A and B are shown apart, each in its own frame.
Chain A
Amino acid sequence: MSSRLDRITDEAALWFVRVQAPEFSGADREEFASWLAASAEHVLEYLSVAAVSSEIRESSPGMDVDALVALARERGDQHNVVAIHAARPVTGKEPRDATGRRGRRAVWTAAASVAIMGLAGIWFALTTGPLVHTTGVGEQAAFPLSDGSVVVLNTQSSIEVDYTEIDRTVRLLTGEVLFEVREDADRPFRVLTDLAVIRAVGTVFNVRRRGEATNVTVIEGTVDVRLIDARDGSGSPALKSADVAVTLAGDAAVPGGLRDRDGMVRLDAGEQARVEEQSHEVVVVDANTEDTTAWRERRLIFESQPLADVVAEFNLYGDRQIEIGDSELAERSISGSFDADDPESFALFLSTADLAESARRADGTIVLRLPREVD
């Protein structure tokens, strides 16, 4: 009767062990997530197995590990005699005495940490000063922050997370990020780009900083967008004025480095603020929030956008680049929904729609040209 449960226990134990191995990959995580989401029994077994590991920590004071090890080595399995000389990690480990045993206290401390080891790593990694998260070409990644908020980075994006006791600041250095902010009235959450300060309370929003504009789209909740006026402060560079905002921006008070109230715009769900570098103004428009976050499914959705922008977007995702061969093409208006990882299909779409012809260069680059006249 319990053979089915036993099988689940075996699976849970294997996952528990594999998760802690350094080679646990993205594909493994996906599989593990599916396994967890498959049933409550899986969740129960996983937690139970984790709990057993903590019993092991505290049990067996009478068992002599060294004797066991000696016994184990003596009976070395014939098919597995190769010792793996792995480098011993030294960071954060307590020194051992001659027998390789750590103090009882250390064991206890370790015991306290067993059940949430995965969390511990993330927590400590994220609470020790400013932290930079970056994604490469075509890469997307989600990072849980220490307060329970989550940031999802699109391709070629970079953020700096700076959490202190009194506030939570994320600097969007470049790219596009979806923020899911956990509410905390005592520690305001702010996103800084070199053009704007975005303040959020328990909400979901997307910020994009590429080229000459910052776009803020609110999916859920409300955010305030405030311009940073880089022209104040004796023409200091834009990023420097963002720094001023980090250190000075109080909750209600607007410091001198920022524009006053008139520079602040409140956005509700479904609204998008576009901050243009040139005009230095905030324009609020209605946004399709599904399209805005379609990048999470690696879809690129365009509505009457110039080909130059569309091509630039594609080029963020892959090694296969697209180039506009005839400058006349740059302003052609493009609408459609495309797979970010499939520029070939996009090129095919362009030729089928008679918008542009494409050729391949030796390095694989797709070159777009004006379609030839058909006489």
Chain B
Amino acid sequence: MKPSKAEEQAKAKAKVAHLFADHHDRLEAYLRKRLANQNDAAELAQEAYLRILRVKRADLIRHPEAYLYRVARNLVHELYAGHRPSSFADVDVDQLRSGDPSPFDQALLARRRELVQRAMEELSPKCQAALLLRWHEDLTQAEIAERINVSRQMVQKYLASGIAHCRKRLRRIAEQERDGSHE
């Protein structure tokens, strides 16, 4: 009807896609930075949790993961809007906005990567292969099953136990660093 409508829509879509990609990076940077530090992570989770409780139960059930991420996204959003809660006062907003981590953060993230890599090397070849195929090569669970010749259920088991192992390693090390006397 209107000649420019398709064009307008395409433009709007492109803009939204761009906005989203932008947002993605920020949330990603934010989450990783926050979660690298146990105390910050606990605070973020606490806040996210309180908000999750406020989501209507039926809605949460429909898309639990999406809601969790939306809550996390909103937390990030608040930082940019300047309504940041005092508990996040230490966040360097400019750096987050530029998506350019400080040398300190870079070192922190590099160390995390290294620790995860080392933790992965402790796993069986199948488990390692599954993790890499899933998150490095971006294969679906079905594709991984075919590739390493195991059932879909086993793929899920490898992925879950592998990622849990890495997470536990990271937590142990963080705990040890926090209080040398632990355990």
Contacts and interface: CB of A to CB of B under 8 A. Distances in A.
B5 to A, nearest CB: 8
A84 B145 contact: yes
B9 interface: yes
Given A60-B120, A60-B136, A127-B13, A55 B113 contact: yes
Interface stretch (A15-23, A230-238, A323-331): A15-23
B120 A56 contact: yes
A2 B172 CA distance: 9
Interface residues of B, number: 93
A80 interface: yes
Given A60-B117, A116-B27, A119-B69, A12 B164 contact: yes
Contacts, number: 280
A56 B63 contact: no
Interface string A87-119: 011000100000011100011001111111111
Interface in B1-56: 1-2, 8-9, 11-13, 15-17, 20-21, 24-25, 27-28, 31-32, 35, 41-42, 44-46, 48-50, 52-53
B178 interface: no
Given A83-B146, A111-B28, A119 B42 contact: no
B179 to A, nearest CB: 12
Given A69-B129, A81-B149, A143-B62, A16 B163 contact: yes
Interface stretch (A33-41, A257-265, A352-360): A33-41
Contacts of A54: 28, 32, 135
Contacts of A287: none
A144 B69 CA distance: 12
A271 B166 CA distance: 55
A20 B138 CA distance: 12
A41 B171 CA distance: 13
B175 interface: yes
B62 A142 contact: yes
A290 interface: no
Contacts of A30: 61
A211 interface: no
10 contacts: A21-B152, A32-B64, A47-B35, A48-B35, A60-B132, A80-B149, A102-B137, A110-B138, A115-B72, A120-B24
Interface of A: 1-2, 5-6, 9-10, 12-14, 16-22, 26, 29-30, 32-33, 36-37, 39-60, 63, 65, 68-69, 71-73, 75-77, 80-86, 88-89, 93, 100-102, 106-107, 110-124, 127-129, 141-144, 146, 148, 150, 152, 164-165, 247, 296
